Chains A and B, each alone.
Chain A
Amino acid sequence: MAGGVAAAPRAGRSPWRHPSFVIGGAIVGCIVVVALVSLVWTPWPATKMNIPHKLLGPSAEHWLGTDHFGRDVASMLMVGARNSLAVGFVAVGIGMLFGVTLGTLSAAKSGTWLDEAIMRSADFTFAFPAVLSAVMITALLGPGVVNAIIAIGIYNIPVFARLTRSGALQVWAKDFTLAARAAGKTTVQITLRHVIPNIGGLIIVQGTVQFATAILAEAGLSYLGLGTQPPNPSWGRMLFEAQTYMQRQPLLAVFPGLSIALAVLGCNLLGDGLRDIFDPRVARSRA
């Protein structure tokens, strides 16, 4: 993670010159397009069972074969992409919204009891990895995608809170915030006008990394049966079901895993690329 405050991209510095950004962006872009297309079209209805055609290999009719219920794997993967992205967006959105708010508040009230309380709470939340939070929430409310989103979202809050606080503290130490304060601007005005725009890059970069983590967590929870519930297709759930039929149709265990890996790889590369664009010092130090 970039240690300092994100610098604004230099004028004329083309993002297309960063291979990580281009490759990651292309992978993520493809998955987003596939997910959007699945809203209006899939090769077959994703949840339609066709037992006589179960466990078929890839063919012109079923591009990636069929599962143990005869459902079209390609169609399920397309709808699964939609679910993974939706969970990722909402969970990271929750983490970002609450985390950035708490982080900026903590930085603005640095050294006070409020700052201490927020940061100690963030430390405390780290004790509960997403899977552990999901286990508790599931034991309480039962399994389901909404509960998985809540668990992953809660896990994301301290990540953004800590990052935002450290970035915001550096902005608060700059001369221009001092000048704004001298000009009579309130803490809220300075936070909105100066602090958040200056740490925006940092938050976006972390957002892509957390998005990858959220996709992995959702897949893991769905694999355990704690996330997306049948008949809604999910990559993690598909992997769980494929395990039983691995000897008869090994490819069933390959495609969902490959989809998860590609999505995570794409997000991580995109994050690396964005980091290089927002903070060229990191790129130079990595070279």
Chain B
Amino acid sequence: MPAFVLRRVLGLLATLAATALIVFIVLEILPGDPAAVMMGVNATPETIAAVRLEYGLDQPAAVRFVHWIGGLLRGDLGNSYTYKVPISGLIAERAQVTLPLAVMAVLTASSIGIPLGVVAAARANTRWDAAVMALSQIGLAVPNFWFGILLVLTFAVTLGWFPSGGFPGWGAGLWPGVQALLLPALALALPQGAIIARLTRSAVLEALQEDYVRTARAKGLTWRQTLTRHVVRNAMPPVVTILGLQFSVLVAGAIIIENVFSLPGLGRLMFQSIAQHDIIVVKDLVVLFAGLVVTMNFIVDLAYGWIDPRLRKT
């Protein structure tokens, strides 16, 4: 196991380094002069030169890359050109919206998808099964940002139960914050819930074929007891690991959903930074998002190795 973990950790570090290098090349080297991109077409050469000097963009690319990586490791991401504040502070502030949103979305998706998948498998080839599968097909097909708009139309505009957008901040209290994130989390959870329901169904169906199910029933356990105590428990590891692999979908979804609901999260920050040509912030955020995806895949990889010892040899 230690050799397996070491191999995977080295792989993770190599991937993170490659990610940072690619992002740096695409956003700082390929544009030619990042200062010119940041200032736009109407900027004077003097202004561009001043920005180049202020942000150290006049130094050779290799020096800038090393400096940037050093900063990333120390948690010092430099200053935002647009907001004139440290980027690490900006990210920490915006993460207070994105992280709870992601957690709420995963919890919502799991609490809807897992029971539906179990019901579909336990009642395989019945109307219940067909209904769950049809629902999951719809969940996969409906774009989450459209679902978000429909939720706003119904629950905010028509019924007035929830705010149509924005975030009051956690300082306003727990409930107003949760209330502002509920509809976005539901929208974000829709495709995830559909995927989880389908995966849970197939994992439970597979677990139902195992010998221990027959043993449990022979032991005198009821069908429901067998299902909850043995089958669902054994079916969960692959579902949880796939949930981890779906993290990139969640990241992509958050970028769009935060814009639908005007939430001041990391996704919206990225979008605003592009509009304002703040390449420094875009670069840090892309690395952050890609790094999170890579790290989540790494955790899933380790979890697989822990669940199935045969994989440690690969």
Closest-by-CB residue of A relative to B142 is A261
Cβ of A114 < 8 Å from any Cβ of B? no
Chain A nearest CB from B132 CB (Å) reads 13
Q: Contact partner of A261 among B27, B143, B251, B259, CB < 8 A?
A: B143
Contact with B255, one of A135, A140, A239 (Cβ below 8 angstroms): A135
With both chains docked as a complex, state the minimum distance between the C-beta of B278 and any C-beta of chain A, in angstroms. Answer: 9
Residue of A nearest to B31 (CB): A140
What is the size, in residues, of chain A's interface with B at 8 Å between Cβ atoms? 43
Query: Is the C-beta of A56 less than 8 angstroms from some C-beta in chain B?
Result: no
List which A230-287 residues lie within 8 A (CB) of chain B: 236, 239, 242-243, 246-247, 250, 253-254, 256-257, 260-262, 264-265, 268-269, 286-287
* A57 proximal to B (CB < 8 A): no
Say which one of B44-52, B58-66, B144-152 lies at the interface with A.
Answer: B144-152
Tell me whether A224 is interfacial, beta carbon within 8 Å.
yes
A287 touches B125 (CB 8 A): yes
Would B18 and A124 count as touching, CB distance under 8 A? yes
Partner of A135, one of B249, B260, B270: B270
Q: Report if B279 contacts A (CB, 8 A).
A: yes
Q: Which of B77-85, B234-242, B288-296 contacts A (4 or more CB under 8 A)?
A: B288-296
* Residues of chain A from 33 to 86 with CB closer than 8 A to chain B in the complex: none
A236 to B142, CA, bound (A): 12
Q: Is the CB of B141 within 8 A of A257?
A: no
- Judged by DSSP, the binding face of A is helix
**Residue B88 is within 8 A (CB to CB) of chain A in the complex:** no
- The answer on a CB contact under 8 Å between B153 and A219 is no
Asked if residues B146 and A239 are in contact (CB atoms below 8 Å), the reply is yes
CB of B145 within 8 A of CB of A136, answer no
Q: How far is the CB of A169 from chain B (nearest CB, A)?
A: 14
CB contact between A127 and one of B15, B37, B138, B255 (< 8 Å): that residue = B15
What separation, in Å, do the CA atoms of A260 and B202 have in the docked complex? 27
Write out, one digit per residue, whether chain B residues 290-304 have a CB within 8 A of any chain A CB (1) or not (0): 110110010000000
A219 to B145 alpha-carbon distance, docked (Å): 9
Docked-complex contact B153 and A140, CB < 8 angstroms: no
Partner of A264 from B141, B145, B152, B274 at Cβ < 8 Å: B141
Q: How far is the CA of A87 from the CA of B30 in the complex (A)?
A: 25
A246 proximity list for chain B (CB < 8 A): 149, 152-153, 157
Q: CB of A101 within 8 A of chain B?
A: no
CA distance A127 to B286 in the complex (A): 10
Tell which of B18, B149, B297 touches A257, judged by Cβ atoms closer than 8 Å: B149
Docked CA distance A131–B143 (Å): 14
Given contacts A131-B256, A136-B27, A246-B152, contact A126 B141 (CB under 8 A): no
Q: How far is B254's CA from A220's CA once the two chains are assembled, in angstroms?
A: 11
Q: Is A107 an interface residue (CB 8 A)?
A: no
Decide: B19 and A124 in contact? CB cutoff 8 A: yes
Given contacts A127-B19, A132-B286, A220-B145, contact A265 B27 (CB under 8 A): no
Q: Report Cα–Cα, A128/B18, bound state, in Å.
A: 12
- How far, in whole Å, are A269 and B141 apart by their CA atoms in the complex? 10
| B125-184 residues at the A interface, CB under 8 angstroms | 125, 137-138, 140-143, 145-146, 149-150, 152-153, 157
Assess whether B18 is in contact with A223, with CB atoms less than 8 Å apart.
no
Alpha-carbon separation in the docked complex, A261 to B191 (Å): 12
Closest to A24 in B: B137
Hey, what's the 0/1 contact readout for A115-154 against B, CB within 8 Å counting as 1? Answer: 0000010011011111110011111100000000000000
Nearest-neighbour CB distance to chain B for A81, whole angstroms, equals 15
Closest CB of chain A to B277's CB: distance in Å?
8
B95 adjacent to chain A (CB < 8 Å): no
Find out whether the CB atom of A126 lies under 8 angstroms from the CB atom of B260. Answer: no
Q: Which residues of B contact A286 (CB under 8 A)?
A: 202
- Cα of A246 to Cα of B149 in the assembled complex, Å: 9
With A127-B293, A130-B252, A136-B286: A264-B149 Cβ-Cβ less than 8 Å:
no
Closest to A242 in B: B149
Chain B residues within 8 Å of A120, by CB: 11, 15
Find chain B residues with CB under 8 A from A216 CB: 143
Known: A124-B15, A139-B27, A246-B153. A261 touches B146 (CB 8 A): yes
A135 touches B137 (CB 8 A): no
- Identity of the chain A residue whose Cβ is nearest the Cβ of B19 in the assembled complex: A127
Q: Are A139 and B282 in contact (CB under 8 A)?
A: yes
Chain B residues near A127: list those with CB within 8 A: 15, 19, 248, 290-291, 293-294, 297
- Could you tell me if B145 and A223 are in contact, using CB atoms closer than 8 angstroms? yes
Measured CB to CB, the nearest residue on chain A to B152 is: A246
- Contact residues in B for A269 (Cβ distance below 8 Å): 137
A246, B158: Cα distance in complex, Å: 11
B binding-site residues for A, Cβ under 8 Å: 11, 15, 18-19, 22-23, 26-27, 30-31, 37, 125, 137-138, 140-143, 145-146, 149-150, 152-153, 157, 202, 248-249, 251-252, 255-256, 259-260, 270-271, 274, 277, 279, 282, 286, 289-291, 293-294, 297
Selected A-B contacts with CB under 8 Å, 9 pairs: A127-B248, A131-B251, A139-B279, A223-B260, A224-B259, A239-B146, A253-B146, A265-B138, A286-B202
A sample of 20 more A-B contacts (CB under 8 A), given A132-B286, A220-B145, A250-B157, is A123-B15, A124-B22, A126-B297, A127-B19, A129-B251, A130-B252, A135-B271, A136-B27, A220-B143, A223-B259, A223-B260, A224-B255, A226-B274, A239-B149, A243-B260, A246-B152, A257-B149, A261-B143, A264-B140, A268-B140
